[in-house]
């Protein structure tokens, strides 16, 4: 196994959400709409603007996403979290601030018993993020 990548499903706001994540995390963002795919003729014209597939790549982080909701509908839950292992205290503080904008910080950044700076939040799209910075692995803090 080479990697495990989160694949997020949105209900018509994939472009907005992935652009927000790119603005927070940096990186390159790719979109393919339904209208740009062979599926275009098989779906109603109003579906052509929806995102069939999106990829955000920022260093070692890759997030995939789509507006393609199953027949059951979108079921947002708390069984999946997106974990970012940050490389500095500055990075974790910046990402926590950016990702929590419009969302809900559920656990503020604080020093943990295992020697890390850790916090979590639910963003404005209902996705749960865990942010971690291991002070022991990085040497002296900046």
**pLDDT tens digit at each of 142 positions of the chain:** 777 899 999 989 999 999 999 999 999 999 999 999 988 998 889 989 999 999 999 999 999 999 988 778 887 777 789 999 999 999 999 999 999 999 999 999 999 988 999 999 999 999 999 999 998 875 544 4
Within-domain flag for 122 = yes
Q: Which whole-number Å values give the CA distances from 118 to 2, 7, 27, 128, in the listed order?
A: 26, 23, 23, 14
If asked whether residues 62 and 113 sit together in one domain, one would say no
CA–CA separation, 67 and 33 (whole Å) = 9
If asked whether residues 57 and 86 sit together in one domain, one would say no
Three-state SS at 32: strand
If asked whether residues 93 and 44 sit together in one domain, one would say no
The pTM for the full model equals: 0.85
Q: How many domains, the chain?
A: 2
Within-domain flag for 75 = no
CA–CA separation, 118 and 136 (whole Å) = 13
Domain that holds residue 46: 7-66
If asked whether residues 39 and 90 sit together in one domain, one would say no
């Amino acid at each position: 196994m080479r990697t495990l990548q989160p694949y997020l499903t949105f209900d018509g706001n994939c472009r907005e959400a992935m652009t927000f994540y790119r603005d927070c995390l940096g990186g390159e963002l790719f979109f393919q709409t339904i209208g740009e795919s062979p599926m275009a003729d098989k779906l109603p014209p109003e579906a052509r603007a929806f995102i069939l597939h999106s990829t955000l790549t920022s260093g070692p982080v890759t997030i995939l996403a789509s507006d393609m909701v199953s027949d059951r509908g979108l079921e947002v839950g708390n069984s999946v979290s997106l974990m970012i292992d940050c490389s500095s205290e500055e990075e974790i503080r910046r990402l926590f601030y950016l990702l929590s904008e419009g969302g809900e910080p559920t656990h503020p950044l604080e020093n943990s018993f295992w020697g890390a700076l850790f916090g979590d939040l639910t963003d404005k799209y209902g996705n749960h993020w865990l942010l971690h910075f291991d002070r022991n692995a990085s040497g002296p803090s900046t």
